[in-house]
Chains A and B, each alone.
Chain A
Amino acid sequence: MNRYPVWKYAILLIALLVGGLYALPNLFGEAPAVQVSVAKTGMRLDTAALGRVEEALKAASLTPDALALDGASIKARFSNTDIQLKAKDAIQKALNPDANDPAYVVALNLLSRSPAWLSALHASPMYLGLDLRGGVHFMLQVDMQAALSKRAESLAGDIRTTLREKNVRHSGITRNDQTVEIKFSDSAAMDAAKAIIQDQFPELASAESPDGTGFKLVASINPVAGRKIQEQALKQNITTLHNRINELGVAEPVIQQQGLDRIVVQLPGVQDTAKAKDILGRTATLEIRMVDESAEARAAESGSGPVPFGDERFLERTGQPVIVKKQVILTGDNLTDAQPGFDSQTQEAAVHLTLDAKGSRIFRDVTRESIGKRMAILLFEKGKGEVVTAPVIRSEIGGGRVQISGRMTTMEAADTALLLRAGSLAAPMEIIEERTIGPSLGAENIAKGFNSVTWGFVGVTLFMCMYYMLFGVISSIALAFNLLLLVAVLSMLQATLTLPGMAAMALVLGMAIDANVLINERVREELRNGASPQAAIHAGYDRAWATIIDSNVTTLIAGLALLAFGSGPVRGFAVVHCLGILTSMFSGVFFSRGVVNLWYGRQKKLKSVSIGTVWRLASEAQAPAVQKGK
């Protein structure tokens, strides 16, 4: 009765192998590394860059332990931090000749020392949280009211233009918070305006409201459009943050949306919070100017003459210089949207820009006068400008819908649109939570967490072995298996491990032993009641199972509630807690039974099991040590 069919052993074996394999990378530890990624959105890393890194290292006579192009970054591993620092300088010099305008982010990082075949299996060590590796955590709140107000402002401008075009007389348009108020002196004009708004501004819902002797129309952004605006604002802010953080040279930044209006930024390894805050809070601006195409300017462009008076020299993303007039035609404030798309006639990749009313008016006037000339769209950040794109004006562009196309791949179009949108933050942000953890504290926390788990584990194991003899040993093996599985699952999911997470690991091991104690006590009880050893094992596991399920479900309920409502440290705790409960059911019952079956199941005439003293009320006089093993 205490035999497992082969398939059950097969499951156990597979679990053991897979668990062992995925837990393995954690044993290798981490080595100092240099990580190269692109600083600008428009660029891609390729094998050419890899070659340059290789050359640079060779020139500095540094040999990396491993060097590979891995998705979006090149990673080079070194044996110690000394070489790592030298290598970083060498790579920095080779890839970024102009220190003021870096094309690549060269950052220090830690990489798993695990061999390549493990990485090929996507087996990587657990992902450590900031409290274990050190770094900065910010939570930013996006001011959505401001985003909506900004949108209402630009809609007010659009309405003004449209009403003028349609010859609808009004006596004033004002923005009041997130609504646009239009006053009229007669009701016919109001009805006409209402029809126009309904027809041309699907984002708005308008309602009449009494206004003394006159008439007033109040148009407000409808909820659906409002949500869309908020979503876009958040996305745009995240994109902008991405671009800025690239400058910081952080190896693995995390930028995530949290809830409807929050963004979490985590910068592992960054210590200089002041600089990080400065960069996060900076505003970028977008400007549209005309390209100077005079002979002097052309000479300056090719480098053979000085930059003419009233002009400025900027670089395109390709490194090509462009001489641009100082006079600004439009700023990013007038740009409401930029999306990648296709030319409707040629099917070429294109970027579609949408301008607000004021912007479109200016744009129409400018384009009418300068057909065939080039204009430049510039992005200013940190007081440093860069030409995003400099297209030739083909025709007069009215209506505020602009299309930039030609000589562009779809990828480039997407990147350009992204950059244009990132030109200015959609809505202001405020830091509402900040955490900094020093690197020494991180290392200490790892040691503390590790020690807690180890010593607790040793204590429990010793006690179990002494109290339950062989069954205790089996329980301890099951507990070790549980730890292995938990580490493997955490590594596989790449869930963030924090100090509370390590505490949860210790706690879950303490709780997991409960299942084995229940089983062992039950087996003893069955023996005490006179059952044969085989029957006692069978009944012990069977009867304990219902109880184990019940007790784990209640613990799991608590864990899930923590997971649902917890944030930050609590979440880290809850993830490990819940996973630990699940793995403990598998290891504590299924696995330990398997080992017991393997040991005792074959012996048909089993006389005794080694489960410590089975104390009998009536049998005190008889030999008390019957149950001791050999």
Chain B
Amino acid sequence: MEFFKIRRDIPFMRNALVFNAISGLTFLAAVFFLFSRGLHLSVEFTGGTLMEVSYSQPADLNTIRSTVDALGINDVQVQNFGTAQDVLIRMPVQKGNSSAQQSDKVLVALKAADASVTLRRTEFVGPQVGDELAADGLKALACVVAGIMLYLAIRFEWKFAVAAIIANLHDVVIILGFFAFFQWEFSLPVLAAVLAVLGYSVNESVVIFDRIRENFRRYRKMNTQEIIDNAITSTISRTIITHGCTQLMVLSMLLFGGATLHYFALALTIGILFGIYSSVFVAAAIAMWLGIKREDLIKGPAKKEEDPNDPNAGATV
């Protein structure tokens, strides 16, 4: 089997401007939604109490809501979780109501209203923990960005590092934009997924950059644009197959992982799709505009070795 029967290099870079305009617009839309709607943060970040309860028959959300309201707890969110029988109740941090007693109180009240209710899980997070988690999340993001840039700068060149990070941070923002637009719950596992995607889609750019470097060595007559086109064309089948395989796994999580892993898998799906797009169309184009050259990648010692035998020694295109 072979999906990719490509006769000649696809001129990706000729249309680089169009691709970048598209991704630029998506990026701006994501930023817009992030600011206008904001992220729907989970209890882990905001602090508060979360309860998952299960009924023997489809639950009546309104009754549950009024039962909890009657306890004098404000701003309660009640929603189904996975199935019609399972209900998720979210309560903000109550002033004065000491820590975790809240969930006990609510459960007693719910039991009084319908004896078939069983508690599946509760989660209480104090406000101080939430702030820390947000700070730690940002620190982790900064660390990933710095670490990857440093590695790429050492392994390749700073222009590649900048290009890869811009392309992939824009993926991260787009994932967040999706979460803001649809008001999907942004929890700790989703944060983990976002950071994992960052590492993963950078590796996509790395594969292409690797090819670009190799091509610079091999095809001395091609110009930068042709070299990039060739690199992308010859890696495109690998790109799509790998991502397809990873996506298969994620799809399996989406289908079988249940409600807990739902948003995690969703974040990965968006990340993988946009990861392909941005590494192929955006990262290489930015690297090109930053002016990567053959001399940047082929360092001195290697050159000297080739010099005596190569008639084109030192020639640049």
Contact = CB atoms under 8 A, between A and B. Distances in A.
B129 A139 contact: yes
B248 A273 contact: no
A566 B104 CA distance: 29
B121 A435 contact: yes
Interface of A: 139, 141, 273-274, 277, 430-438, 440-441, 444-445, 448-449, 451-457, 459-460, 463-464, 466-467, 499-500, 503-504, 506-507, 509-511, 513-514, 517-518, 521, 525, 543, 546-547, 550-562, 564-570, 573-574, 577, 612-615, 617
A455 B255 contact: yes
Given A432-B129, A452-B261, A557-B199, A514 B137 contact: no
Given A558-B196, A569-B192, A612-B2, A464 B210 contact: no
A403 B197 CA distance: 62
Tell me what chain A mostly uses at the interface: helix, strand, loop, or mixed. helix
Interface residues of B, number: 77
Contact of A452 (B122, B196, B257): B257
Tell me what chain B mostly uses at the interface: helix, strand, loop, or mixed. helix
Given A456-B253, A503-B257, A550 B238 contact: no
A330 to B, nearest CB: 31
Contacts of B99: 430-432, 434
Interface string B239-282: 00110111111111101111011001100100000000000000
Contact of A506 (B100, B249, B258): B249
Nearest to A432: B126
B125 interface: yes
B252 A452 contact: yes
B199 A525 contact: no
B241 A612 contact: no
A457 B7 CA distance: 33
Contact of B140 (A503, A506, A565): A565
B125 A499 contact: no
10 closest pairs, A vs B, by CB?
Answer: A558-B199, A510-B249, A551-B203, A456-B252, A432-B126, A510-B246, A456-B249, A451-B256, A565-B140, A557-B147
Given A466-B1, A500-B192, A507-B196, A455 B126 contact: no
A503 B261 contact: yes
A550 B205 CA distance: 10
Contacts, number: 238
A463 B248 contact: yes
B206 interface: yes
A573 B250 contact: no
Nearest to B191: A570
B299 interface: no
Contact of B196 (A432, A559, A567, A569): A559
A561 B143 contact: yes
B249 to A, nearest CB: 3
A561 B144 contact: yes
Contacts of A568: 44, 188
A590 B204 CA distance: 22
A504 B202 CA distance: 18
B151 interface: yes
Contact of A566 (B136, B155, B237, B251): B136
A562 B192 contact: yes
B143 to A, nearest CB: 4
A433 B191 CA distance: 19
B113 to A, nearest CB: 19
Interface in B188-236: 188-189, 191-192, 195-196, 198-200, 202-204, 206-207, 210, 214, 234-235
